[in-house]
Every structure is written in structure tokens, then in C-alpha cells.
Structure 1
Amino acid sequence: MRALNLDQLRTLVSVLELGSFSAAARALHLAQPTISLHVAELESKLGTPLLLRGGPRVQPTPAGELLAERAHRLLRDADEAIELVQRQRDGRAGRVRLGSSTGAMVHLLPQLLEALDAALPEIDVQVTIGRSSELMAKLFVGDVDLALVALPQPRYPQIRVTPWRSTPMMAMLPARWPAPKLITPQWLADKPLILNEPDTHVRRQVMDWFAGAGVLPRARIEMSFNEVTRRLIAAGYGAAILPFEHPSEALDGRIQVLRLKPAMPRRLGVACRSAKTLAAPIRSVLDAVMAFRE
């Protein structure tokens, strides 16, 4: 037996719901002979009558009632499948793998994810946390779709990096330390320091800041989790230079947040493949991320 035709099933359901062939023809924008043909072909395929045509309203036979019940489910599933594909095509649904550097995850990432959920509720944004260099490599091999990375980054073929946000790097000191209003490399170099681990972007940036003044600091401890670093600063263990995103990072006054001299910004960018090759959901998330610039 040949497979059932969804158009013919839709015709059968419409005839039964509306009560006549003529009403179904008007609703489906088909000629009435086409409606009769659809029903006749269904009855021929199944080898049994499906409709009782004698009364003022068309009624189903037992076989027609059973088929119409199943047809409702099939048509609903088909309509949902079409809608899902259209949402995917239009960038309103799907899955996007977003990479985020550790420096962006405490304050920026939660705010960004909240904005994405409000703007694109049917897109599943899956987050990968890592160092910027690792995320660029993952993007290159296709393990993530977009990445929030520290700038600058080495060039990768077919990957573009667009500047996104700039955040000041600040000196963070225990509240009880006496300190000048502006923190210089010379003043800070001989203090107990909490530095990021050597292969991180923040560590390289901080060491370049000290090197510009001709001083070489020594780390009391190396730590790449900024939240832990701030807890150690509040406990009086040492000082650090970190990006400053939010007043809450002062931990209720237990940390002094002071400007650097010379000033030093932390710049973030959005890395992705060429916009021409991006799937629609990725383009939608990219547009929403870029709208989240400061």
C-alpha cells in the first residue's frame, strides 16, 4: 500500500470538522472535485469507506473515525515540525555554543545570558568557560560557535574578532593597607602580590605594565580565579591587579579599589567565523551579543 498523503488526511479532517465537502473546499482553498478526489484516493488506498455522505452533515464510518483521530496527531506533528524548521531558519530557535573567558564570567556573562534568554528564549545557549587562547582554538576547529575573548588575539584563518567591551584594570588592595590614590608599578612591585597564572592574558598584560616602568614583581601566590583572588585580598593576604566590573567586587569595603598610573584597560572581543557562513541562530545570538556593548 502506498504511503498516506498529508494533504489527503488534512482534507478528510476538514470535511469531518466542517460537515461538508463544499465547506472543506472553501477552507482549504481547493475546488470541490479535488476534495472528493482526495477522499476517494484515501478510501481506495485503505480499501474501505471512510465517510457516510447521506445526511445533512457528513459523518465518519468507524474506519474514518479511527483514521481521523490519528490524522489529527500526524497533522499536528507535521505543523510543529514545519514551524520548528522555520524558527531554525529564521534564527529564532536552535542551539548555540558560546565560549567565555574566565575574566568575563563573574558579572558580564550572567547579565549577557539573561539578556539572551529574554530576547531569544527558544535558542539554547550552551556555555564553555576557558582561557581566551583555548577558546580561539576551539572556535577554529568548530567546538564553539562564538567566543568572548581578551584582546588582542593571534589571527586565525576565517575567524574575525570584533572589539566588544573595555573595562578598567584596577589595583585591589586590603582595606587596611595605607596606599596612595594612584597606584604606580614602583609602589606596587615590592608588595605581596597575587598574580594570575603565567599563561593567562591578564598575567601577560600586568607584567607588561610593570615592565614599562622597569620593575619586576614577584608573586606571593598565582591564582587564575578572580573571585578567589578577591577573597584573599579581603583577608589581607596580598594585592592584585584585576578588571573591575562592579562595585560589589570591593566586598563591602574590605577591598580598596584604586586607579593605576599609567592606566590600563582590559579589552574584550567577540570571535566568530565569517558572518556569511553562520547559521541563522548563531547570527541571532551574535547580533544580541553585539547589542550588549557598553
Structure 2
Amino acid sequence: MRQLNLDQLRTLVSIADLGSFSAAARALHLAQPTVSLHISELESRLGAPLVVRGNRRVTPTAAGAALVERGRRLLREADDAIDAVKRQSQGLAGRVRLGTSTGVVVDLLPQVLETLEREHAGIDVEVSILGSGNAITRLLAGTLDIGLVAMPQPPQPQLVLTPWRTQPIMAFVPSRWKAPKRITPDWLAPKPLIANDASTHMYRQTMEWFADAGHSPRARIELNYDAAIRSLVAAGYGAALLPLQESTDAPQALHDRMQVLPITPKLTRRLGIAHRARGTLDGATARVLEVLMAFAQKT
């Protein structure tokens, strides 16, 4: 049996409510022969009479009444689905899938999410903790809508990459270590080190910083969580190279137990916004991009 036709189902419900083919035709802005055709096709498809044509009023049969009862729910759900798609397309509501690193989630994203909640409460942002490479892969696969990624990235014709923010990379050193005012690769390489996970852009960037000075240090531990790295530095476990935190949410006791020192040569982490071409984006994703760009650093 073929699937039910929602237009035909809507016609049956209208006839049950209004009591005649002509009244249903006027309400649905259809020609009366079209209304008759809808009912005859439904009856043929289901193999059962659905209405009784009386002199003054058309009434549903028992089978017709059962279909009308369930049909109301189906039509309501169909209307809700259409409304949800329209609201997402218009940017009034919907779900947007965003991927980024833990450091961005802790340091930069809360202000963005607070603004979105205030200005676009109907949009639900689903955040995934992802490295830049995984974020790009998922964007290309269509399972992610926006990625906040380390720059530069290899060009992808299907994606738009826009510069967003930059952060200076600093040396985070336990407070009890006697350190110079500026940290160099020569000084830091022999020390116990805490590094980002080897799969991250940050790891590659810092290892290149050491390599340019002729060093290839080995970290005591690799993590993909900046807040945990800072805690280990404060505990004296080792030193780390990390982007300078823009928020001041870390406990004062943590700051008191570590030194945050500039490095030579300088390093900068550059972040970008990655997404598919704007012509393919729904309204909800476009709204999130607008808010993100409002937080872009002015150049």
C-alpha cells in the first residue's frame, strides 16, 4: 500500500469538521472536484469507505472517524515539523553544532554563549570538544555546522575560513622555579614539560618553536585540556607553553603558584571560524556566526 497523502488526509479532516465537500473546498481553497478526487483516492488506497454522503451533511464512517482521529495528530506533527524548519531557516530557533578545543570552551566561548542566550534564546548550540583537524573533517562530512579552529588550515574549497582571534603564547612556569624574565627554548627545553596532545595544532606549533632552536624535548605528560595543564604547572609538575588566558576565572591561589612569562622568539595562536558556504547555511547557523563575528578581534 502506498503511503498516506497528507493533502488528502487534510481534506478528509476538513470534511469531517465542516460537514460538506463544498465547505471543505472553500476552506482549503480547492476546486470541489479536487476534494472529491482526494476522498475517492483515499478510499481506493485504504480499501474502505470513509464518508457517508447524506442529503444535508457528509459524515465519516467508522473507518473514516478512526482515520480522522489519527489524521489530526499526523497533520499537527507535520505542521510542527514545517514550522520548526521555517524557524530554523529564519534563524528564530534550531540546533547549531559547534566544535572547538577545551581552551576556547573555557576561555572564549562562555561570553559568546551568554550573548546567544540573551539575543537568540530559541537557538540551541550543541558544543563538541574537538581538535581542529577533527572539526574540519566533521564540517566536510556535514556532521558539524561551525568549527573554531587553529589557523592556518589547508585550503578546503567547500569551507569558508575567517580569522577570528589571536592570543600570545606564554610560558607557564611553577612559581618556585628561578626563571629569567623572558623564556627561551634553550632555557626551557631541559626542564620538565607539560604539552598539549600530540594531535593538536598547538603541540606542532610549540615543537617547531623548540626545533628552530635545535631542541627536541619530550614532555612528561600530554593533555588536551588547558585548565588541567595550568593546574599541573601550579603544582610544580612542569612548565608549559599555552595561550594567554583572557578570562580571569582561575582561582587566585592558582595564579600565585605559577609565573606567566613572555617567550622569545614570540609565538601567537591564531583562531579562525570554519563553516560551509553561506548560501548553504540555515538561519540559525547564520545567527550564531553573526554573534561569533561580533567577538572577533579588531585589526
- Cross-structure match for 2:82: 82
Larger radius of gyration: 1
In structure 2, relative to structure 1, the CA distance for the partners of 1:123 and 1:92 (3 Å cut) is: farther
CA contact (8 A) 1:169 1:266 kept: yes
Contact 2:163 2:272 in 1 (8 A): yes
Q: Deviations over 1:29-49 (max 9, x none)?
A: 346x45873687369746647
Q: CA deviation at 1:100?
A: 2.1
> Does the C-alpha gap of structure 1 residues 121 and 282 become closer, same or farther in structure 2, counting only changes over 3 Å?
closer
Whether the 8 Å contact between 1:193 and 1:218 is mirrored in structure 2 is no
Question: What residue number does 2:67 align with?
Answer: 67
Counterpart pick for 1:280 among 279, 282, 285: 282
Q: CA RMSD in A?
A: 4.4
Cα deviations by residue, 1:44-91 (Å, 9 ceiling, x for unpaired): 746647246456x76544344333223323322433443455456556
Shift in alpha-carbon separation, 1:14–1:40, aligned structure 2, 3 A:
closer
Question: Which letter does structure 2 place at the counterpart of 1:227?
Answer: A
Structure 1 residue 149, shift from structure 2 partner:
1.7
Preserved contact between residue 94 and residue 122 of structure 2 (Cα < 8 Å): no
1:4-36 CA-to-partner distances (Å, cap 9, x unmatched) read 6543432332243345566545433346x4587
Change (3 A) 1:67 1:273: closer
Q: Distance in 2 between matches of 1:63 and 1:211?
A: 79
**Distance apart, 1:269 and its partner CA:** 1.0
| Residue equivalent to 2:100 | 100
Letter of the aligned partner of 1:290 in structure 2?
A: M
Task: Choose from 254, 257, 267 the match for 1:255.
Answer: 257
1:192 aligns with 2:195: no
Structure 2 distance, partners of 1:13, 1:135, is 47
Corresponding residue of 1:50: 51
Give the residue type in structure 2 aligned to 1:174.
P
For structure 1, which runs of at least 5 residues remain unmatched after alignment? none
Q: Deviations over 1:131-160 (max 9, x none)?
A: x34544555566655432212233345444
SS of 2:223's equivalent in the other structure is coil
CA–CA separation in structure 1 for the residues paired with 2:262 and 2:68: 75
Between the aligned partners of 1:211 and 1:51, the Cα distance in structure 2 is 87
CA distance in 2, matches of 1:188, 1:160: 40
- Which position in structure 2 is the counterpart of 1:221? 220
AA aligned to 1:185 is: T
Task: Name the TM-score, length of structure 1 as normaliser.
Answer: 0.69
**Residues 8 and 228 of structure 1, relative CA distance in 2, 3 Å threshold:** closer
Q: 1:266 aligns with which of 266, 269, 279?
A: 269
Pair 1:290 & 2:289 matched = no
Q: Which residue matches 1:234?
A: 234
- Report how many residues are paired: 288
Residues 56-205 of structure 1 aligned to structure 2 (within 5 Å): 59-86=59-86, 98-109=98-109, 112=112, 119=120, 121=122, 125=126, 127=128, 129-130=130-131, 132-136=132-136, 139=139, 144-177=144-177, 182-185=181-184, 189=188, 192-196=191-195, 200-205=200-205
Within 5 Å, which residues of 2 pair with 1:19-30? 19=19, 23-30=23-30
Q: Assess if the C-alpha contact under 8 Å between 1:172 and 1:255 holds in 2.
A: no
More deviation in 262-271 or 42-51?
A: 42-51
4+ runs deviating over 6 angstroms: 91-95
How high is the TM-score relative to the length of structure 2?
A: 0.68
